[in-house]
Structure 1
Amino acid sequence: MRTYGGATAEQRTSLRRRRLMESGLELFSRRGYAHTSISAVLRHAGLKDRYVTESFSSLDDLMAALIRDIYDEQITRCTGAIDTDQPLRDRARNMIDIIVGLPLQDPRKGRVKLTESLGAGSLTARERRLGLQRKSGLVNSLLREGLHDPRTDTTPRSVAVVGAVSEMLLSWFNGILNISREELVDQGLLLFDAITEHASATSRE
């Protein structure tokens, strides 16, 4: 296999893609999606114009890739948090804490995911929907553990939990909710508890 500078063509393409994504993350979080262009991303990454089309078809495509990466990271961590022998409530708390912790651990990812991605196009919107569906699936797996009747459909309830926590997180990130991280997690857990109790009661009827 032919190499250049010790790297194959595939490896160089992958490295350029990663550089573009890092630059996109930095510029989207600092300038905002609406004030960022493909040319600006290329300049920041130190790459020539011809290299962007090998990785992304548009700025929206770049944002979509970033959102997919962010959700992949969170889903992996959330899956690990709930795949333990801890009590159900503790696992739910750990999952909510992971979701809430993103803006604190990497404010760039927090801003891109929670605010800047909302102004992107259809590709990004699709990745957001898929990410929320995957999170809802994890919550649904927790809700179903306490059911007496496995035929009870908890899908709408899991969507409600994820949607509510996401909205609370957005308000917290934007400074509308003036509470601590622990308080925000507690509020999310309170919602999970209420829906869990309702689902369990419904399945006994």
Structure 2
Amino acid sequence: MRTYGGMTAEQRTSLRRRRLMESALELFSSQGYARTSIRSVLRHAGLKDRYFTESFSSLDDVMAALVKDIYEEQVTRCAEAIGTGRTRHERARDMIGVLVAMPVADPRKGRVKLVESLGAGPLTAQERRRGMERMTGLVASLLREGPLDPRVDTAAMSVAVVGGVGELLLNWGNGSLRISGEDLADQALLLFEAVSEHTARTP
């Protein structure tokens, strides 16, 4: 296999793809998706025009790749958090901790996931839907652990929980909700507990 600079052609393509995604993450989060162009992403990444189309078809395609990676990271960590043999309350708290930790560790990802991805196109919308389905599936698995009121649709309640936590994170991130990260996690857990208590079957 031929190499150049110690890397194969596939490795160089992968590296350029990652550079484009990192530049897009920076620009989408700092100046907004609507104000970002393909040319500005290329310029930020220090790459020539021809290298965009070897990995992506559009800015929407780049955003979709970012959203996919963000959800993959969070879903994997949330699944690990609720997979231990502790109480449902403890595991729900750990899962919420994962969701709160991301915008603290990397505010760019929080901005892209919660705000800028909403203004992208159909490819991003598809990845957001897939990510939400996986996340709500994890919440539903927690809700189903106890006896359920037959009137309750756990899928619907899970969407309410994930959507509510997302709104808490959005308002916290933009400064509208002036509480600490720990308090935010506490309030999000109270939301989950309220839903789980409401969905429980009455003796």
Q: TM-score range by the shorter chain?
A: over 0.9
2:34 is equivalent to residue 31 of structure 1: no
Identity among equivalent positions (%) equals: 69
1:28-70 per-residue CA deviation (whole Å, 9 max, x = no partner) reads 1122111111111111111111110011100111011111111
CA separation in 2, counterparts of 1:30 and 1:49? 22
Match of 1:173 in 2: 173
Output the amino acid matched with 1:33: Y
Output the amino acid matched with 1:118: L
1:111-148 per-residue CA deviation (whole Å, 9 max, x = no partner) reads 11121112211211221111111110000111111126
CA separation in 2, counterparts of 1:152 and 1:176? 32
Match of 2:98 in 1: 98
CA separation in 2, counterparts of 1:170 and 1:46? 32
Residue 198 of structure 1: how far off its partner (Å): 2.0
CA separation in 2, counterparts of 1:11 and 1:150? 53
For the 8 Å contact 2:96–2:188, the answer to whether it is kept is yes
2:109 is equivalent to residue 127 of structure 1: no
CA separation in 1, counterparts of 2:85 and 2:180? 28
Moved more, 119-128 or 193-202: 193-202
Gaps of 5+ in 1: none
Residue 93 of structure 1: how far off its partner (Å): 0.6
Residue 105 of structure 1: how far off its partner (Å): 0.5
Task: Identify, as 1 or 2, the structure richer in helix.
Answer: 1
Gaps of 5+ in 2: none
CA separation in 2, counterparts of 1:190 and 1:26? 33
Match of 1:109 in 2: 109
Please state whether the residue corresponding to 2:55 is helix, strand or coil: coil
For the 8 Å contact 1:144–1:150, the answer to whether it is kept is no
CA separation in 2, counterparts of 1:108 and 1:194? 31
Match of 2:160 in 1: 160
Mapping of 1:42-81 within 5 angstroms? Answer: 42-81=42-81
CA separation in 1, counterparts of 2:152 and 2:29? 42
Please state whether the residue corresponding to 2:127 is helix, strand or coil: helix
Q: Cα RMSD (Å) of the superposition?
A: 1.7
For the 8 Å contact 1:34–1:119, the answer to whether it is kept is yes
CA separation in 2, counterparts of 1:20 and 1:48? 11
Output the amino acid matched with 1:168: L
CA separation in 2, counterparts of 1:172 and 1:148? 32
